[in-house]
Structure 1
Amino acid sequence: MPSINFNQSAQVALMNLSKVNENLFKIQDQISTGKRIANAKDSASVWAISTVMNSDVMGFQQITNSLNLGTSTVEVARAASEQVSNLLTQIKAEIVSAKEQNVDRTAIQRDIVALKDQISSIVDAAQFNGLNLLKGGADIEVLSSFNRDSTGNVTTAEISVARADLRQVEGVFGTTQITAGAGLNTASSASIAAGATETLTLTAGTINAGYSFEATIASTTVQYIASEGDTVNDVAQALVDEFGVQFAALEATTPGSSPDVDFTLTVGTDPLTQNAVINITNNEATAVALAGDSFNDGVAGGDLGRLFSIDVDTTVDADIDQALLDVEDMIQSAIDATAAFGSVQNRIDIQSTFIDSLVSSLQSGISSLTDANLEEASARLQALQVQQQLNIQALAIANQAPQALLALFQ
């Protein structure tokens, strides 16, 4: 029934027009922002997920910067250590040439000194943003990733980069003995009876960079300078290896003078809680003297510290032989450092590639959750504009209905 107090048709038309206008505003907002979910009002759950993912993307982008800085730092160290290896090889060639009798050893030594100076120059310059990985010290950590679990907890991950020590620095030591019961000590007697076995024990947990560990067997004394990160296992192995070098050199100069002893090294599975034990068996017919001691108050020497002692300007062939043995060890140290840097640089590059791929995947996922389909939005916009015009016309017609009542009173 028509009424001048309430126009139901106009009310329905107005409600339809308001709904169309609301949808039209949403579509226009999607087209202007490119987002289907632009804020929490559009969809609280999807917005929350996308916001967390966006924060992760920003975090991974910072990790990319960290990886780029790390790989540049390691690349400088690797290139420098490669060059050091090449220069040490040249020094080796000079030492070999000094073995000849009819050569100018003074000139050869001059060339060796020049090469040693060049090595020092390279090691000093091998820094990136002030960080030099060729001068020893604690490992550095390169931020490589962070992980979010199902509860939202976030943890970070790092790639550890071990420094090398290619300095030509000799360790300098005082005479303060490590406290009783620690360090390197003999188990019982100060000599090894014929056919017997005695031990040198390196107590776990006593290793510090700069500590000097000395042992003597039959008047042959060896010393190992602990470097950063050494364990009791490392020190014990180094002492055994150095005895082998010294005995070989002694045998080469005076056959039959080096003691006939065998080494058996027992190391603990945990260098912080288990001792390392060097068992020394005397194969001689008579007793062999044995002593062990250790001292601190020192400064750790570099892996190339023995370059100081290389001098081929001599008439003693044994000195040249020892120089050759020393430079071989130093070449191996430089090669090991280069290989380690190469491995960690490759790992950082792989991680960087993965992070780039991961960021792309996250951004794609965020886009699929929140971005508007502009093709669909465009078609929807056209339809809503038509609906808006039709509803405006319907409202106009509905508003004219009460005018018809006037005709009844004419």
Structure 2
Amino acid sequence: MSIYRRTSVDAALYVLRDIGRSMTETQRQVTTGLRVEKASDNGAYWAISSILKSDQAAQSAIRDALGLAAATMDTANAAIDSSIDLVSQIKAKLVAATESGVDKDKVNDDITQLKAQLRSVSQSATFNSDNWVAIDDADDPSKPREIPASFTRYADGTVSVGTLSYDVDLAPVGLTSSKDARYLIDDRTTGTGEYGVLTSQYFSTEAGASQNYVMLKSAGNTTGQVEIGVSASTTSSQVNEMIAVVDKMLGQMTTVGASFGALEKRITLQNDFAQSLDDSYSRGISRLIDADMEERSSRLTALQTQQQLALQSLNIANATYDTVRQLFQNL
């Protein structure tokens, strides 16, 4: 007679193996904090979370771009504010030059220093090699400045990157005018300085001045242009014309400053929204793939207890089997 079935032992082993598999899975979830780590865990949730993670990374890049743009706008705004103050001082010097008996040459010395500071402020207003108030041959003034501002995934799966724009050339057709002077200095050698408030002769033309007055001469074609300044031979009529031109320049500079301020505000709002989207992505991904750590920890403790009980059951089953086997051996 022989014993060929160990039902109780096999059952105990099956239970122990099943508990071991559950413990391995639960320990992995506790260690990684994820209940969906790979496609085999839950294919649908894994695919959705993978796309969301990719979009979240794109949103992070958008936020970085917005932060860089905000810093650039801060720099440009500082240059505009400083330049408005300097041009206001030049206007005051010109007004002083209308007084009888004033030494216009000395007044012009002050104006010359202020103009030099204007160029210095404009050309040094650079952040990360980007200057929004002075342009040269590397820039196309007719194209808007664009800032990556949003990342959108549509229902059909296509994606797009939205931008915030600072339009420079406001005239859709025809020639440019003083309204197109959206920079402080236009130093393009291919132009006449028309896109820079301080280098454009359009303010003088629109003021009806007798000469093409500019605050600063550009690196382009400056034929017929006259830099604002006074001397002993400057007439009161000419000074008054200069004052009128400078006043028009100040008006356009405040327009540029207001546009920069509005764009900076928009950047701040968009950055706040991008942060909210990032938080939403994080919450959504968490709901899909994160493990409930409290529940998983409790589950692990329970499985460890079950494993101990299963081991005891296996030991009892083996002991019983050995006892029966010994009884039959004595027959």
Q: Report the TM-score, using the length of structure 1 for normalisation.
A: 0.65
- Cα RMSD between the aligned structures? 3.0
Counterpart amino acid of residue 77 in structure 2: R
Alpha-carbon contact 1:307-1:327 (below 8 Å) kept: no
Structure 2 unaligned spans of 5+: 136-140, 169-181, 211-218
Greater helix share, 1 or 2? Answer: 2
Whole-Å separation in 2 of the counterparts to 1:168 and 1:60: 35
Structure 1 residue aligned with 2:293, among 353, 369, 374?
A: 374
Alpha-carbon shift at residue 396 of structure 1 (Å): 3.2
Distance 1:114 1:243, change over 3 A: closer
SS in 2 for 1:38: coil
**2:237 counterpart letter in structure 1:** A
Q: CA deviation at 1:401?
A: 3.9
Is the aligned partner of 1:245 residue 2:231? no
How far apart are 1:95 and its partner, in Å?
Answer: 1.2
Q: What is the CA–CA distance in structure 2 between the aligned matches of 1:162 and 1:69, rounded to whole Å?
A: 19
1:322 to 241, 256, 276: 241
| 2:91 matches 1:92 | yes
Alignment map for 1:1-400 (pairs within 5 Å): 4-136=3-135, 137=141, 138-162=143-167, 164-167=182-185, 210=191, 227=195, 245-246=207-208, 299=220, 308-311=227-230, 313-399=232-318, 400=320
Q: Deviations 1:254-312 (Å, cap 9, x if unpaired)? A: xxxxxxxxxxxxxxxxxxxxxxxxxxxxxxxxxxxxxxxxxxxx9587xxx97714436
1:62-113 Cα distance to aligned partner (Å, 9 max, x none): 2221111111111111110111111111111111112221322221122111
- Name the CA distance, whole Å, in 1 between partners of 2:147 and 2:288: 33
- Counterpart for residue 274 of structure 1: none
Q: Which amino acid aligns with 2:324?
A: A
Equivalent residue of 2:3, what SS? coil
Deviation of 1:146 (Å): 0.6
Distance in 2 of aligned mates of 1:53 and 1:29: 23
Separation in structure 2 between the aligned mates of residue 300 and residue 19 of structure 1, nearest angstrom: 86
Shift of 1:157: 0.8
Asked if the contact 2:39/2:47 (under 8 Å) is kept, the reply is yes
Does the aligned pair in 1 maintain the 2:186–2:194 contact within 8 Å? no
One-letter amino acid of the structure 2 residue matched with residue 360 of structure 1:
D
Alpha carbons of structure 1 residues 243 and 135: separation in structure 2 relative to 1, 3 Å: closer
Per-residue deviation, residues 113-167 of structure 1 (Å, max 9, x unmatched): 1111110111111111221111242332211111011232111011113463212
- On the 8 A contact 1:226/1:300 being kept in 2, the answer is no
**Partner of 1:217 in structure 2?**
none
Contact 1:109 1:313 (8 Å CA) reproduced:
no
Residues 84, 253 of structure 2: 8 Å contact kept: yes
Judging changes above 3 Å, is the alpha-carbon distance between structure 1 residues 34 and 46 closer, same or farther for their aligned structure 2 residues? same
Partner Cα separation in structure 2 for residue 147 and residue 167 of structure 1: 36
Q: Percent identity over the alignment?
A: 31
Aligned to 2:324: 404
Q: In structure 2, how many angstroms separate the alpha carbons of the residues matched to 1:129 and 1:7?
A: 78
Amino acid aligned to 2:281 = L
Question: What is the CA–CA distance in structure 1 between the aligned matches of 2:226 and 2:307, rounded to whole Å?
Answer: 90
2:214 aligned partner: none
- Between Structure 1 and Structure 2, the one with more strand by share is 1
Shift, 1:402, TM fit: 7.1
Identify if the C-alpha distance between structure 1 residues 313 and 329 changes in structure 2 by more than 3 Å, giving closer, same or farther: farther
Write the distance in 2 (CA, Å) between the matches of 1:384 and 1:65. Answer: 46
Check conservation: 1:63, 1:143, Cα contact below 8 A: yes
| 1:216 paired residue number | none
Amino acid at match of 1:398: A
Q: 1:86 to 1:139 in 2, by over 3 A?
A: same
Q: Is the CA contact 1:109–1:312 (under 8 Å) kept in the aligned structure 2? A: yes
Whole-angstrom distance in 2 between the partners of 1:310 and 1:13: 103
The alignment covers a number of residue pairs equal to 297
Residues 168 and 5 (structure 1), Cα distance of their counterparts in 2 relative to 1, 3 Å cut: closer
- Cα deviation, residue 315, structure 1: 4.8
**Residue type of the partner of 1:328?**
D
CA contact (8 A) 2:104 2:230 kept: no
Distance 2:225 2:69 in 1: 31
